[in-house]
A and B are shown apart, each in its own frame.
Chain A
Amino acid sequence: EDQVTQSPEALRLQEGESSSLNCSYTVSGLRGLFWYRQDPGKGPEFLFTLYSAGEEKEKERLKATLTKKESFLHITAPKPEDSATYLCAVQGGSEKLVFGKGTKLTVNP
């Protein structure tokens, strides 16, 4: 059974304090790993897709990386507007995505 575990559950940072979020996964035949951002009361917003180990994607202060067992979302010099819940999901052999429970990030000014 495909599984995704995200850590930590919650993370508090000061503005400018860089850190990383972790997404560990087990899947039979990875077809894609996806990162989403979700603001309170809203639907998840797509950020990145990673397809193979070694791949990296960047968007503003965010950088996602992928190994054979985990993905990291690196946040460089975060700002308060980066506060959100970040979700990781994997797609294995079916059309379904399996989501982790998310990391709630709070960036204090």
Chain B
Amino acid sequence: DVKVTQSSRYLVKRTGEKVFLECVQDMDHENMFWYRQDPGLGLRLIYFSYDVKMKEKGDIPEGYSVSREKKERFSLILESASTNQTSMYLCATGEVTYEQYFGPGTRLTVT
């Protein structure tokens, strides 16, 4: 079975803090993705990476950055957290034209 793990299930941070969300996969997949999910808006793609040290902007990259130093690890960084970044963050992994597998999610609250 594919295993995708995320560093925290719940996280509470203060406005202006730098926040790191980490995702690790064990399937040797080339592609990794970061989404956020909000009620009424569905899943929205923030960034994705199709190879080590490669990254592409998704639909809503503003206020976020990413890092992929190793194939199995993909980090999402909030440089200066704001209250409108309170959300459920989901990491996924997969290959082109195949299904994506999701991690359990991180519920981030920014106060």
Interface residue count on the B side (C-beta < 8 Å): 24
* Interface SS of B by simple majority: strand
| A37 to B102 alpha-carbon distance, docked (Å) | 11
| Residues of chain A with a CB closer than 8 A to B43's CB | 44, 87, 89, 99
Interface residue count on the A side (C-beta < 8 Å): 21
| Residues of chain A with a CB closer than 8 A to B99's CB | 32, 34, 46, 49
Nearest neighbor of A99 in chain B, beta-carbon distance: B43
Q: Is A95 a contact partner of B31 (Cβ separation < 8 A)?
A: yes
For residue A33, give the distance in angstroms from its CB to the closest CB of chain B: 10
Nearest neighbor of B45 in chain A, beta-carbon distance: A96
Instruction: Determine if A102 is an interface residue (Cβ-Cβ < 8 Å).
Output: yes
Q: Is B104 a contact partner of A91 (Cβ separation < 8 A)?
A: no
| Residues of chain A with a CB closer than 8 A to B103's CB | 43
| Residues of chain A with a CB closer than 8 A to B50's CB | 95
Q: Is A97 a contact partner of B97 (Cβ separation < 8 A)?
A: no
Q: Is B42 a contact partner of A46 (Cβ separation < 8 A)?
A: no
Chain B residues packing against A (C-beta within 8 Å): 4, 31, 40-43, 45, 48, 50, 56, 58, 90, 92, 96-105, 107
